Amino acid sequence: MKIEMIKALIISICILLVPFFLCGCVDENTNKNKLESAVVAINSEGDFTSIQDAIDNVQNGGKIYVKNGIYSETININKTVSLVGENKNFTIINCNTSSTIRSDSIFFIDADNCSIQGFNITCKYYSSGISGIFINSSYNLIKNNIINNYHYGINIHSSSNNNNILKNIVLNSRNGIEISGSENNNISENSVSYSSVYGIYLYGSDKNNISSNNLQNNYLATRLTSSNDNTLTENLFTNNTAGLKLCCSSKRNVIFKNIFSINQDYSAIDDVSNQWDNGVIGNYWDDYLNKYPDANSSEGIWDQPYNVKDDVYDRFPLVNPPII
| E strand or H helix that includes residue 21 | helix 2-31
DSSP 3-state assignment of 8? helix
pLDDT grade, residue 1 (50/70/90)? very low
pLDDT tens digits, 191-239: 999 999 999 999 999 999 999 999 999 999 999 999 999 999 999 999 9
- Superfamily in which the 36-314 domain is placed by CATH: Single-stranded right-handed beta-helix, Pectin lyase-like (2.160.20.10)
Neighbours of 85 (CB within 10 A): 28
pLDDT tens digits, 114-165: 999 999 999 877 778 899 999 999 999 999 999 999 999 999 999 999 999 9
Where are the chain's structural domains? Answer: 36-314
Neighbours of 36 (CB within 10 A): 10
Instruction: Supply the pLDDT for residue 222.
Output: 98
DSSP conformation letters of 267-317? EEEESS--B-S-SS---EETTHHHH-TT--EETTEESS-EEEETTEEESS-
Closest by Cα among 266, 251, 159 to 221:
266
Q: How far is CA 291 from CA 270, 306, 318, in A?
A: 18, 8, 14
Q: Which residues contact 208 (CB under 8 A, 6 or more apart)?
A: 179, 182, 183, 184, 185, 186, 187, 202, 227, 230, 231
Between CA 294 and CA 27 the distance in angstroms is: 71
DSSP conformation letters of 185-232? -EEES-EEE--SSEEEEEES--S-EEES-EEES-SEEEEEES--S-EE
DSSP 3-state assignment of 45? coil
Letter for the amino acid at 57? N
Higher pLDDT, 205 or 9: 205
DSSP secondary-structure letter at 318?
B
